[in-house]
């Protein structure tokens, strides 16, 4: 690269889909403000995508555009490679090749980093280049930069995130319309809010990838998404919204991570699951496809980061901010101003996760039981035998003609393994006609 401090820093884009198009638009539309902030231009010089014919509504004249990703990551005219291919196979290969060729990398690929982060970060450190990934969690919300820098003085005590917009949209629509999950999912797919294969989102896998990165960064933990238990929203029925509302809660798919020190050592909680949150909490007010992450630091106290978690321009906003940070480092002649996961690589440690069975929380239970005298007594006895206290009970309607009815309970604080043990007995009762739905409750948000 030229030693001229005003010479452009040159960007190569791998993947020219929705986000790639947004990156090209932001680089063009905001060229003046970017130039005023950096002191030099950020120039998109090369694009690779398998589809080279579709009109993206962008003028690509003057930009080399072909389908050769391998050539892009080796191109001496490219200083920073932006990986927006997605997936963990081709993307991993190109990212590692780009690093091996001495390129800095910006990626939005949480699946790649949640599975292969260690390999990618180690390769980048050996080569003295940067890997930045702000767009991988919370879209346009600068949550990773906040954890790495703005909150760096804090011991992070907990974080609670609505980090998947698709599921937040579906849950809000189910609550608003009273419709069943399948109906709302089909509508979300037709409106483009959910993928045709929606399992990554609705089974909590996408949120688990993002939580893996957040928890690694918050606690200095070496963690992969395989270790993070994830439960999605398929089992939530309209009864849950009605009952949660009556108890003063809303239902959110949360990624939760907590620091759990003890005399025997430091452990962390990391889990993704539908959660009852107090209707008065700020997270409960996050509607539609928006994202929000509540972070509690020991010095700062509670903080909340809110914004668009996906979409062309919000995600491009985060990608271009990463490009600008790296461009500054290129000008300083030194990469790695802040370690990718905030902790120095040698300070990262494998930190054991608290098993779900050890988690202590209040729980929402929805039983499906025949409407007969004595059934509730049998259920409460089995809960009582495992030391689980009951705080409230609602039976939804009457089961005429031997039909089952939903019976909804909130428990006192209980250990999850005790609840699971009691549910085994309850679900084997002849009068209980379907598996019980358990939703954990989080109060301190
Ligand atoms: N599919 C994600 C979501 C957006 O629904 O939030 C990309 O991370």
- Label residue 201 exposed, middle or buried (CB < 10 Å: 0-12, 13-18, 19+): buried
In a domain, 1, yes or no: no
Q: Which of 103, 210, 252, 258 is catalytic?
A: 210
Do 391 and 326 share a structural domain? no
| Overall domain count for the chain | 3
Per-residue model confidence (pLDDT) at position 194? 86
Residue 2 has pLDDT above 80, yes or no: no
User: Which residue minimizes the CA distance to atom 7 of ligand 1?
Assistant: 310
117's enclosing H/E stretch is helix 110-127
Residue 219 has pLDDT above 60, yes or no: yes
Per-residue model confidence (pLDDT) at position 398? 74
Per-residue model confidence (pLDDT) at position 399? 67
In a domain, 3, yes or no: no
Do 247 and 283 share a structural domain? yes
Place of tokens 């918050």: 218
Do 169 and 26 share a structural domain? no
Pocket of ligand 1 (CB under 6 A): 164-166, 201, 206, 309-310
**Of residues 314, 345, 431, 342, the one with CA closest to residue 148:** 342
User: Is 210 a known active-site residue?
Assistant: yes
Query: Ligand 1, from 139, 225, 317: best to mutate by most atoms within 8 Å of Cβ?
Result: 139
- Distance linking the first and last C-alpha atoms of the chain: 48
- pLDDT, mean of residues 253-271: 95
> What pLDDT digit, counting tens, does each position of 89-109 carry?
999 999 999 999 999 999 999
User: Which residue minimizes the CA distance to atom 4 of ligand 1?
Assistant: 310
> What pLDDT digit, counting tens, does each position of 143-193 carry?
999 999 999 999 999 999 999 999 999 999 999 999 999 999 999 999 888
Per-residue model confidence (pLDDT) at position 401? 64
Do 205 and 299 share a structural domain? yes
Task: Report how far ligand 1's centroid is from the alpha carbon of 257 (Å).
Answer: 19
User: Which residue minimizes the CA distance to atom 2 of ligand 1?
Assistant: 164
- pLDDT, mean of residues 339-366: 94
> What pLDDT digit, counting tens, does each position of 33-77 carry?
999 999 999 999 999 999 999 999 999 999 999 999 999 999 999
Task: Report how far ligand 1's centroid is from the alpha carbon of 362 (Å).
Answer: 29
CA-to-CA distance for 74 and 70, rounded, in angstroms?
7
Do 219 and 206 share a structural domain? yes
CATH of residue 414: 3.30.70.260
Domain hosting 22: range is 9-140+312-349
Which atom of ligand 1 is found nearest the CA of 291? 6
Mean pLDDT of the chain: 95
Task: Report how far ligand 1's centroid is from the alpha carbon of 103 (Å).
Answer: 27
Do 190 and 110 share a structural domain? no
CA angle 14, 18, 20 (to 5 degrees): 30
Residue 445 has pLDDT above 90, yes or no: no
Write 237-240 long-range contacts (CB < 8 A, 24+).
237/180, 237/181, 237/366, 237/437, 238/174, 238/178, 238/179, 238/180, 239/366, 239/396, 239/406, 239/408, 240/364, 240/366, 240/437, 240/439
- pLDDT, mean of residues 216-239: 95
CATH of residue 192: 3.30.360.10
90's enclosing H/E stretch is helix 90-100
Q: Would strands 131-132 and 80-83 be described as parallel, antiparallel, or unpaired?
A: unpaired
Task: Report how far ligand 1's centroid is from the alpha carbon of 85 (Å).
Answer: 15
Query: Ligand 1, from 109, 309, 311: best to mutate by most atoms within 8 Å of Cβ?
Result: 309
Task: Report how far ligand 1's centroid is from the alpha carbon of 342 (Å).
Answer: 24
Q: How confident is the model at residue 3 (pLDDT cuts 50, 70, 90)?
A: low
Do 319 and 255 share a structural domain? no
Is the pTM here over 0.85, yes or no? yes
Do 291 and 374 share a structural domain? no
């Amino acid at each position: 690269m030229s030693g001229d401090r005003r010479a452009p820093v040159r960007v190569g884009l791998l993947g020219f889909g929705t986000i790639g198009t947004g990156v090209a638009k932001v680089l063009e539309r905001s060229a003046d403000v970017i130039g005023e902030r950096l002191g030099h231009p950020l120039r998109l010089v090369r694009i690779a995508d398998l589809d080279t014919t579709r009109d993206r509504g962008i003028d690509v004249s003057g930009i080399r555009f072909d389908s050769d990703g391998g050539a892009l990551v080796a191109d001496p005219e490219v200083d920073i490679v932006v990986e927006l291919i997605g997936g963990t196979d081709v993307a991993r290969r190109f990212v590692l090749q780009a690093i091996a060729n001495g390129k800095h990398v910006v990626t939005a690929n949480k699946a790649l980093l949640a599975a292969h982060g260690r390999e990618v970060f180690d390769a980048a450190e050996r080569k003295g280049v940067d890997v930045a990934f702000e767009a991988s969690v919370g879209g346009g919300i600068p949550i990773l930069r906040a954890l790495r820098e703005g909150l760096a003085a804090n011991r992070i005590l907990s974080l609670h995130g609505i980090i998947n917009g698709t599921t937040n949209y579906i849950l809000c629509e189910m609550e608003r319309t009273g419709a069943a999950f399948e109906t709302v999912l089909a509508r979300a797919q037709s409106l483009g809010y959910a993928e045709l294969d929606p399992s990554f989102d609705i089974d909590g896998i996408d949120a688990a990838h993002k939580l893996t990165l957040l928890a690694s960064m918050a606690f200095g933990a070496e963690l992969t998404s395989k270790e993070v238990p994830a439960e999605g929203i398929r089992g939530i029925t309209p009864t849950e919204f009605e009952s949660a509302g009556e108890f003063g809660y809303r239902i959110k798919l949360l990624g939760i991570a907590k620091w759990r020190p003890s005399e025997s050592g430091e452990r962390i909680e990391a889990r993704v699951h539908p959660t009852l949150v107090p209707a008065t909490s700020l997270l409960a007010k996050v509607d539609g496809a928006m994202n929000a992450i509540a972070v509690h630091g020991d010095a700062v106290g509670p903080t909340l980061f809110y914004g668009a978690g996906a979409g062309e321009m919000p995600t491009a906003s985060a990608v271009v901010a990463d490009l600008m940070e790296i461009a500054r480092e290129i000008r300083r002649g030194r990469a790695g101003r802040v370690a990718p996961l905030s902790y120095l690589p040698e300070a990262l440690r494998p930190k054991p996760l608290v098993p779900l069975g050890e988690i202590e929380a209040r729980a929402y239970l929805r039983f499906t039981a025949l409407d007969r005298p004595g059934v509730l007594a049998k259920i409460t006895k089995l809960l009582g035998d495992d030391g689980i206290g009951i705080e409230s009970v609602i039976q939804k309607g009457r089961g005429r003609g031997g039909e089952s009815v939903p019976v909804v309970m909130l428990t006192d604080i209980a250990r999850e393994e005790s609840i699971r043990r009691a549910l085994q007995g309850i679900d084997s009762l002849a009068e209980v006609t379907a598996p019980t739905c358990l939703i954990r409750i989080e109060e301190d948000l």
